[in-house]
A and B are shown apart, each in its own frame.
Chain A
Amino acid sequence: MQLDQRLRFDSYVVGAGNRLAVAAARAVAESPGSVYNPLFIYGGTGLGKTHLLGGIGRLAEALHENLEIEYLSLEEFVDQLHAAISAGQLEAFSSRYERVGLLLIDDVQFLTGRRETQAALLKLFERMQRAGGQIVLTSDRPPSGISDVDERLISRLSGGLIVDVTVPDYETRVAILRANCEERRIVFRGGVLEELARFSFVNVRELQGALNRLVAHQAAGIEETPAPAPAPADRPTGEFESFLSEVTSVVQQHVESWQARLTEAAEYWKGEGYRTAVLERAVSLPKSPDVAGLLATFSAAVEHLRDLEKTACSVDPSLGSNSVFRDPERMAQAEDLVERALAGETPPNGPSTEFDRASYDVGSSNQVAVHAADAIVAEPGVKYNPLVLHGPSGVGKTHLANAIGNALAKGNGTPVTVACVHAQKFIDELISAIQGGTVERWRARYRSVGALIIDDVQFVAGKERTQDEFFLLFNSLVGANKQIVLTSDRAPAEIPDLEARLRSRFEGGLVVPIQSPDRTLRERLFTRFLTAAGREADDALLGVLSEPSVQSVREIIGTVNRLGAAAEASGTPLTAQLARGELGMATPFSGGTAVATAGATADPVFLNNEKIVWEWPDVTARVIEDFR
């Protein structure tokens, strides 16, 4: 059996799972018969055992000219043995193998139960080893795991070195994929192979299979050319076809005018994402303009815009999507923007104007946070710096932070630049600044702000460089009495991997939780959203709706939407009854309105939200309580 030429050591990626096996294999190939004899390699299928055998064979062949190398699977070996026995040539067979200097046998697990073969093999091994021949075996399990095998053979097999190859770890998988791609001259965009390697594959073959699938997809993607133009002229099968081909040639003849050229160019640039109003205007001119000149000017303008965009991106990646870089008619604006960007004047993202303080409802679950926010707006950078708002998602942290930002931006007379970014964006910006070598500029941009708001600050945890930079930025802002507001899904002390120096600084300001909305707040929120949806929010309905507790404000919005849809579907007004039914709540004890403790019907005098017990323990609990 021939050794596969591709199976060489240099194409074998070494990782933690196979390092020992590779070292042993190399040693064996370099000096066969003297180090580990026999060498027994075992491991799951598809992990490179055959590759290692091939590597040994190739290397030994190269190093030792006169060495006789025999590579075969156990099946082949057994066939040869049986043939020799039936021909009465067992002795010749054995002495032939005595001359073999390196015997490589694949898949010896198939020895199971073949007693005679085992005996013959044992004898042969003894003779070979005495003659100084090297034996290398592979199997999918260790020798002791091959059932029903002669003890002596096992002890013989175990006498040399037994090594295993295991599933490659992530880094090795990446390396295997890269090596494979290099060999096949395939190029993937960055991150693709790494992402692929993330899947836990049982073996390398599977991994390569997955890679092949990717390659196939990529190839398919590349060959995805536009559908061929219909009506090929070379198919004059019918009258219609010849008619069509004639029409085509006439159209081509007459439409290949300057207008067509302009339209073509306009289409092209439009496809590239540029505004082509200039060209379109030219098309509707009554007479042919200087088409070549016009097109040249246009493409030069686009080229210039691209340069500008590139420059702008190097300063601030978020400028890349700016539409001025897509319109040659707004070249001046684009140039202006780049100039300002270069001067470090483009401010980071501001707070979103859709969140304002007026639309933020207060209840006991968030009143501390709101008070703190109001205090900050009154005296930024003095009282609580930083303000850290934390709480589960959907309780309004981002809303409040942005509301603070908007209020701060107005300033006391003079507008203030407020940077308001999500932590992930902050990190991404830093990364691209590092890539583009513009960290200085990035720093300058953030340090020049009048206030900084970072949403979901827990994301910086574990990112060393970001934490460094953030630490420096933090100190410089706080030192200059500039307000910092952070939001997080948990308290700073509970953010894992957050550097201690940052945590202590966060805690040095005011850390205030925003909890899931309490009953009062729920009622207010329901009133707000119901009104916004154009529905009447009567007390009975509010009583029903505010009863169950919710995790977040988003849930309330969801409930309002759902009830609105239900009311519309049934064609009835949205009432407490409907809400009860829709939300699957039990109808209350209907002994009359008097029973309902829900504040809805209570005397307004007693309607003090703080004093009313809204959530009673359930009846059984109370009964048990009474018995005690």
Chain B
Amino acid sequence: MSLVNYATREITCKIVYYGPGRSGKTTNLHYIYGQVPAERKGKMVSLATQTDRTLFFDFLPIDLGIISGFTTRFQLYTVPGQVYYQTTRRLVLQGADGVVFVADSQARQLGENVESMQDLHANLVNYDVDVREMPMVIQYNKQDLPGDLIMTVPELEDHLNFRNVPSFSADALHGPGVFETLRAISEQVLRKLSPTSGSNG
């Protein structure tokens, strides 16, 4: 998937929110959705199960208008976190320009975080993507929960951020950290606009 199309003068960034089930990926999107002015956002498509879990994926297109002559659009996706939606996750991951890994800060979810991170890597490898090249940030969500329930950021870093990508603590439900995360991943993705990556990045 082309990030910058010089012929049609379009920049389209596909950013995928990845992470274990119930870590708050959809909540991230909902918060962003709430902040984007009406004329700039597309309809948020959310395919949820009856228990309100993401069944297939969420999709939120955002129109950033024309920047430097380029019509710039962001497409935010979430994957279903539950282990058994492996195929969907792979599909959604296809052509991603950047990944936000949303980790659940609760101590008891550590195992699932690690498993999901491994799953992410496996899926990227499956698409022949060099994991080191893929823009990524990690968000430690639910940091607003009582201290005895959650792990601290340094602890989580130890377990998850072995590549030392930018990381943020967040409370996706109320907003803190959500846009910081989005901003960081956007910046990383947009750095790929440098000439060398050309139009077939």
Which one, A242, A246, A251, A259, contacts B72 given CB within 8 A? A251
User: Please, which residues of chain A bring their CB within 8 A of the CB of B182?
Assistant: 243
Residue A572 CB within 8 A of the other chain: no
B175, B178, B187, B194: which has the most chain A beta carbons within 10 Å? B187
Q: Across the interface, do B65 and A231 meet the contact criterion of CB distance under 8 Å?
A: yes
Residue B64 CB within 8 A of the other chain: yes
Q: Across the interface, do A246 and B191 meet the contact criterion of CB distance under 8 Å?
A: no
Residue B147 CB within 8 A of the other chain: no
Given contacts A239-B175, A240-B179, contact A247 B190 (CB under 8 A): yes
Residue A613 CB within 8 A of the other chain: no
Number of residue pairs across A and B with beta carbons under 8 Å? 88
Q: Which A243-284 residues have a C-beta within 8 angstroms of B? A: 243-244, 246-248, 250-252, 254-260, 262-264, 267, 280, 283-284
Q: Across the interface, do A240 and B37 meet the contact criterion of CB distance under 8 Å?
A: yes
B66, B182, B193: which has the most chain A beta carbons within 10 Å? B193
Residue A479 CB within 8 A of the other chain: no
Given contacts A246-B186, A252-B67, A255-B4, contact A240 B72 (CB under 8 A): no
Q: Across the interface, do B186 and A250 meet the contact criterion of CB distance under 8 Å?
A: yes
Q: Across the interface, do B65 and A255 meet the contact criterion of CB distance under 8 Å?
A: no
Q: Across the interface, do A251 and B7 meet the contact criterion of CB distance under 8 Å?
A: no
Which one, B35, B68, B198, contacts A255 given CB within 8 A? B68
B6, B36, B194: which has the most chain A beta carbons within 10 Å? B6
Given contacts A243-B183, A263-B6, contact A254 B64 (CB under 8 A): no
- How far is it, in angstroms, between the C-alpha of A243 and the C-alpha of B187 when the chains are bound? 10
Q: Across the interface, do A284 and B199 meet the contact criterion of CB distance under 8 Å?
A: yes
For chain A, give the interface size range. Answer: 20 to 34
Minimum CB distance partner of B74 in chain A = A247
Distance in Å: Cβ of A534 to nearest Cβ of chain B: 41
Residue A288 CB within 8 A of the other chain: yes
User: Please, which residues of chain A bring their CB within 8 A of the CB of B187?
Assistant: 246-247, 250
Q: Across the interface, do B68 and A280 meet the contact criterion of CB distance under 8 Å?
A: no
- How far is it, in angstroms, between the C-alpha of A259 and the C-alpha of B69 when the chains are bound? 12
User: Please, which residues of chain A bring their CB within 8 A of the CB of B172?
Assistant: none
- How far is it, in angstroms, between the C-alpha of A257 and the C-alpha of B4 when the chains are bound? 12
Interface size on B, residues (CB 8 A): 33
Residue A584 CB within 8 A of the other chain: no
Q: Across the interface, do B179 and A254 meet the contact criterion of CB distance under 8 Å?
A: no
Residue B108 CB within 8 A of the other chain: no
- How far is it, in angstroms, between the C-alpha of A240 and the C-alpha of B35 when the chains are bound? 6
A229, A231, A238, A284: which has the most chain B beta carbons within 10 Å? A231
Q: Across the interface, do B7 and A280 meet the contact criterion of CB distance under 8 Å?
A: yes
Distance in Å: Cβ of B194 to nearest Cβ of chain A: 5
Q: Which B8-22 residues have a C-beta within 8 angstroms of A? A: 9, 11
- How far is it, in angstroms, between the C-alpha of A229 and the C-alpha of B64 when the chains are bound? 11
**Besides the contacts A240-B40, A256-B68, what 17 more A-B pairs have beta carbons closer than 8 Å?**
A229-B66, A238-B35, A239-B35, A240-B35, A240-B37, A246-B187, A248-B67, A250-B190, A252-B68, A254-B190, A254-B192, A255-B193, A259-B199, A263-B69, A267-B9, A283-B6, A284-B199
User: Which residues of A are at the interface with B, using a C-beta cutoff of 8 A?
Assistant: 229-231, 238-240, 242-244, 246-248, 250-252, 254-260, 262-264, 267, 280, 283-284, 286, 288
User: Which residues of B are at the interface with A, using a C-beta cutoff of 8 A?
Assistant: 4, 6-7, 9, 11, 32, 35-37, 40, 64-70, 72, 175, 178-179, 182-183, 186-187, 190-195, 198-199
Q: Can you list 20 A-B contacts with CB-CB less than 8 angstroms, sorted by A residue number?
A: A231-B64, A238-B35, A239-B175, A240-B37, A242-B179, A246-B187, A248-B64, A248-B67, A251-B190, A252-B67, A255-B67, A255-B68, A255-B70, A255-B193, A258-B195, A260-B6, A260-B68, A263-B9, A283-B6, A288-B195
